[in-house]
Amino acid sequence: MKITLNGYGQMGRITESVASSYGCEIVAKVDPFVYGCHAEMTKEILSETDVVIDFSLPENLLDNISFCLKNNTPVVIGTTGWTDHLDFIVEKSEEYKTPVIWGSNFSIGMNLFFSLTEKAAELMTKIKDYDPYGIEYHHKKKSDSPSGTALTLCRKILKHYPDKVYQFDRINRVKQENELHFASVRAGFFPGTHKIGFDSNYDTVNIEHIARTREGFAAGAILAAKWIFGKSGVFEFCEVFDRITDELYD
C-alpha cells in the first residue's frame, strides 16, 4: 500500500519508520514547516497515493481533508482537536464518496483499553456505591487538555452512567453527584498514561493503560489505512476496532 503522510512531526516520522514492517511504502511527505517535505498537498501526489495518514495541525485539517476527498483519496485522521467539525467531514465524505477513519488514539492497546473501560463501567454501574473517575498524564508539550483520548474514555463510561456529565474544569465547590471528574496532568515526557477508577467506602477498583513509546499509535494508524481502503463512509477507529482486527488478523 502506498501512503502519503500529511504532517511530518513526531508522529509522522514514527509512522514512516514502521511502515515497511507492515508492507506499506511512504510515497510522499507533506509539511510546509519541515525542510525536504512537500509544502502542500497536490493532485500529483494523490495520484500516486492509496491512503493519506494525517498528523497535521487541527487548524489546517479541514482544507487538507476536503482536498483529499475531492480527489478520491481515503484519509486516516490522527490529528485531534477538530471533532466539532465532524459533520463537515461526513458531508464531504458523502459528497465525494470517499472514506475517512478517525480516532482520538490509534494505539492498539488503548483501543483494547476503551473496550475494557466500557465493560468495567457496565459492571460497576450495577453497584451504586462506586463513583467513577479518571486521570490522564501527558508530556509538557501536548497542546490540548483534556486529550481526545480522555474525552473518548468519558464517553465510554457515560454510556452506562447516563445521569452523569464529565467535569474537566477547575471548580471551587464540592463535586456534584452527577459529575464524572477527570483530571489532566501535563508534565515531563509521558507518552500517555490513562487511569480509570471506581471508588467506594469499601475499596477502589483501578484499570490503567501506560504507553511506553509512540510506535503503537503509528501501527494502529497503518492498520486503519489498510482497512479503510475500498470502504465507504466515515468511521471512528474505536467503534470499528473489532472489525479491523477480525478482518486483518484472520
Q: What is the pLDDT of residue 250?
A: 63
**CATH number listed for the domain at residues 2-106+214-249:** 3.40.50.720
**Three cell numbers written together for 215:** 510506535
Give start-end residues of each CATH 3.40.50.720 domain in the chain: 2-106+214-249
Q: C-alpha distances in angstroms, 62 versus 44, 45, 69, 180, 197?
A: 20, 18, 11, 31, 36
Distance CA 137, CA 195 (A): 9
- Active-site annotation holds for 139: no
SS3 22: helix
Structural Rg of the chain based on CA atoms? 19
Is the CATH number of domain 108-210 1.10.240.10?
Answer: no
**For each successive 10 residues of the chain (250 residues), what is the average pLDDT?**
96 96 96 95 97 92 95 95 92 97 93 96 94 95 87 95 89 87 93 96 97 91 95 93 79
Q: Which of 138, 156, 209, 226 is catalytic?
A: 138
Least Cα distance to 135 among 194, 198, 80 occurs for 194
Q: What is the pLDDT of residue 226?
A: 95
Helix (H) or strand (E) run with residue 53 in it: strand 51-54
Alpha helices by DSSP H, 97-236: 108-124, 148-158, 215-228
Least Cα distance to 104 among 18, 186, 217 occurs for 217
- Active-site annotation holds for 38: no
Give start-end residues of each CATH 3.30.360.10 domain in the chain: 108-210
Q: What is the pTM of this model?
A: 0.83
Q: What is the pLDDT of residue 80?
A: 83
